[in-house]
Amino acid sequence: MARWLLHVDLDQFQAAVEFRRHPELRGLPVIVGGNGDPQEPRKVVSCASYPARARGVHAGMPLRTALRHCPEGVFLPQDLPAYAAASDEIMDVLRTFPGRVEVLGFDEAFLAADTDDPERLAREIRTAIEELGLTSAVGIGDNKTRAKLATGFAKAVGKSGAAEEPIPGAGAGVFRLTADNWTALMAHRPTTALWGVGGRIAKRMAALGIHTVGELAAADRAALAAEFGPNTGPYLWVLGHGAGDTDVAEPREPVGRSHSETFAADLTEHAEFDAAVTRLATLVAEETIAQGRSVQRVGVTVRTSTFYTRTKQKKLRGPTVDVDEVVRTALLVLHAFELDRPIRLLGVRVEFGPEPG
């Protein structure tokens, strides 16, 4: 039997959990975030249902902006304990299937399995998740990279290329992407279609004449190394070929939690810096506490417009489950930087303390 990697991705997860306990909301533009008040400052969308997304709402958008896009939206508060419990249900179900599971977050995981019929296994997984009142898409690949990208084809009807013909099997909830169909399905797509390639890296590649996945696969590795460094450059070339890990990571006890944000436009005002760190620190603190963990150290990462990146951190006087204390500490760490340049990325990480007794 062959080794297959399956990427399981839950659809509109937080909204779907809300639909499970509020069936009357199905089909409505549901927007989850903050305390459910769209006028609340410094709060962002954590999940939008598909009808809300059709109106231009997306995760990370300020709630006030979401209200302008979708005034008829149903705004709900985040219920992190409920999402964590639902996630645990899903991961427990995945562990009942043959193979090993690597959890990526609340709503996605890899399953490595030895099977002659990965599509059948994927359909069985989707059916088991549906029995929990949730829906999912499953990408199948001969490695993690292709399995992850296959999920995108599983969710939406793709186009095959110049002829713009629908790709057979796309949009059906299960899709296989391997070395055999990689070039046909991916070579013509922009480099941003690759897992881990964002707009800024794509722009730097475009300056080298690399616009598509196929051009990246055919690129000079030395030129990529010269532009992106001896590690990142060759790694990008490998991504262009669709290569990746062929097994899941051993489960390990997490020692912390983090969130970061790369901004569409560089931040230039100190009030903007404070607002972003407050938002990120609140999110990571709430998720940590929902896990039943305390916080004993807070770190902040700053990346400027010149790509200068540095992290500073501060240990608390004692472990805490106070969100406000985590936010205050994150702001103190932020203010320890010389904030004299535009900022393109901010991140907040906490290290766990002892579990609250």
> In the sheet where 309-320 sits, what is the strand order?
256-267, 343-352, 295-304, 309-320
Report the alpha-carbon distance of residue 138 to residue 200 in Å, rounded: 29
At 47, the amino acid letter reads: C
Instruction: Write out the catalytic residue numbers.
Output: 108
The residue to which tokens 């019929």 are assigned: 117
Bridging pattern class, strands 136-141 and 174-177: parallel
Report the alpha-carbon distance of residue 196 to residue 199 in Å, rounded: 10
Answer yes or no: are the C-beta atoms of 319 and 294 closer than 8 Å. yes
The residue to which tokens 């939008």 are assigned: 48
The residue to which tokens 């005002």 are assigned: 269
At 274, the amino acid letter reads: D
Report the alpha-carbon distance of residue 81 to residue 77 in Å, rounded: 12
- Would you state the structure tokens that stand for residue 208, as one six-digit string? 């080298």
Answer yes or no: are the C-beta atoms of 94 and 109 closer than 8 Å. yes
Report the alpha-carbon distance of residue 318 to residue 315 in Å, rounded: 8
- The answer for residues whose C-beta is within 8 angstroms of residue 345's C-beta and 6 or more apart is 260, 261, 262, 263, 301, 302, 303, 309
- Would you state the structure tokens that stand for residue 357, as one six-digit string? 């007794």
- Would you state the structure tokens that stand for residue 75, as one six-digit string? 């705004």
